[in-house]
Structure 1
Amino acid sequence: MEKLEEYIPIVKFIASMMGENCEVLLHDVRNPENSIVAIENGHISGRRVGGVLTDLVLKIVHNKEYQNQDFIANYVVVAKDNRICQSSSLLIRDENREIIGALCVNIDITALLATKRFLSEFIKIKPPKELKNMLSIKAGSRSSDEDIGETNGEENEILEHLLETSGDVVELLIGKVLNKVTIPVERMSQDEKIQAVRELNELGLFLFKGGVSELAKRLKVSDTTVYRYLHKIKDEEKKG
């Protein structure tokens, strides 16, 4: 915790600099059910100190693809009341390069997106190439083939949901996996249910109290059966 405490003044500094539309918080990933150790402008997500870890940070901690990354920048987040945030997270590591925390910055851009849509209603033309080039030079960083008021046309994936309780996180994670299943749960084979447990284990579901029971309820099996599936998965991982 000592290392993380060094970042608390930075949380306050960034929030003071960016203003009330910028939520800044510090997570201790070693305590997923009470991970938030500092937060400023929590009205954006409705969270407070003692709140839970997010689905993205859980994924980062459990997914090897993030092992060599120091930060993740400019991803899409859905916050309280469906507010849209542009977010970035700095990963904090200990002396062994293990992730122990995350400094997260969530900028509420809901009003900006509405303004962009409003302005785009008045722009009905694609400018001539010469005008595009002039605008590109003036803007400095804009691509010359980018339409005025438009992005690159790619739809950004929602990477993170800012939730208030561990129950919310459990429900979200289970939904992420089971919503991909195209058949009723009653018709899922044992192998398909084990695969669901495997994916949810990778997402960090079982770090939360009640995760096993809620999944058992959704799969229509007993808690004991879910634990048996988990033991089977861990045995397979040990065998390589």
Structure 2
Amino acid sequence: MLSEIPVEFLDRLTQALAKQFGTDCEVLIHDLTVKDKDHTVKCIENGHVTHRKVGDGPSEVVLNALHNPQVEDEAGYCTVTEDGRLLRSSTIYIRNKSGQIEGILSINYDLSKLQVAQNILEGWMGGTSHKPLVPQKITTRVEDLLEELIERSIQIVGKPITMMNKEDKMRAIQYLEESGAFLITKSGDKVAECFGISKYTLYHYMDKTKT
């Protein structure tokens, strides 16, 4: 379906949505039909919000869609940029007639100015308490995303790699497999190097975790 939509229309769509919400709102479309999954950003407006541009790589949301085709649209969830700014994000999956995901429409609104205004108002009103948010991080390079997923897998195991046994490493690699990390180009080399194993051992662990 996405391949049937003219790029000119996709550009106009992203431009219109961005103008509707202003310069603090980034609107972009990921093309998941491209052969090189390291370069999925097809159209983008207000890319300064996450410092991305056309031709940049996928986010964690994209990897999740590639790995879990049954994923559903999500609106109004929180993410965070690499420099720590909080965003309000929405993700809409573009499917073909067979239900396969061919693209993603992503909207990310920078809440920085609203947070400043909120803090000022709370100061005047004596302060209020809020439940802390745990937002997803938006990366600008697939290399950074892979490193973050590896770090998260280590945190899940709860041990430094030097102290991990075979089962610990398999658990970490299972998380990476389920999160779509191995869809990133040459990710196997990086993961094998980080965990101090050969690529043969890595693929063996991946097969074991699947069964």
Q: Which residue of 1 aligns with 2:188?
A: 212
Q: TM-score, normalised by structure 1?
A: 0.78
1:37-79 CA-to-partner distances (Å, cap 9, x unmatched) read 000111111111111111123224423662xx3x211111112
Greater radius of gyration (CA): 1
Letter in 2 for 1:156: L
CA drift at 1:3: 3.7
The alignment partner of 1:26 has SS state of strand
Task: State the AA in 2 paired with 1:49.
Answer: V
1:156 to 107, 123, 133: 133
**RMSD after superposition:** 2.1
Q: In structure 2, do the counterparts of structure 1 residues 167 and 9 end up closer, same or farther at CA, with 3 Å as the change threshold?
A: same
Give distance in 2, aligned partners of 1:40 and 1:80: 18
CA contact 2:157–2:172 (8 Å) conserved in 1: no
- Per-residue deviation, residues 173-207 of structure 1 (Å, max 9, x unmatched): 11111122222323322122112111111111111
Residues paired across the two proteins, number: 206
Quote the Cα distance in structure 2 between the aligned partners of 1:210 and 1:118.
Answer: 47
* Structure 1 residues 96 and 65: alpha-carbon distance in aligned structure 2, compared to 1, 3 A threshold: closer
State the partner residue of 2:43. 38
C-alpha distance in 1, partners of 2:31/2:84?
A: 25
- Does residue 62 in structure 1 map to residue 64 in structure 2? no
Pick one of 201, 213, 225 that aligns with 2:177: 201
Give yes or no for contact 2:27–2:105 (8 Å, CA) kept in 1.
yes
Match 2:29 to one of 26, 29, 40:
26
The alpha carbon displacement at 1:120 in A equals: 0.2
Measure the CA separation in 1 of the matches of 2:168 and 2:158: 11
Tell me whether 29-38 or 224-233 shows the greater mean CA deviation.
Answer: 224-233
Separation in 1, partners of 2:31, 2:152: 24
Query: Contact 1:29–1:53 (CA<8 Å) still a contact in 2?
Result: no
- The equivalent position to 2:97 in structure 1, one of 92, 95, 100, is 95
Q: Quick check: 2:63–2:183 contact (8 Å CA) kept in 1?
A: no
Which structure 2 segments of 5+ residues have no match?
none
Structure 1 unaligned residues grouped into runs of 5+: 125-148
Which residue in 2 is equivalent to 1:14? 17
Read off the aligned partner of 1:210 and give its amino acid letter.
K
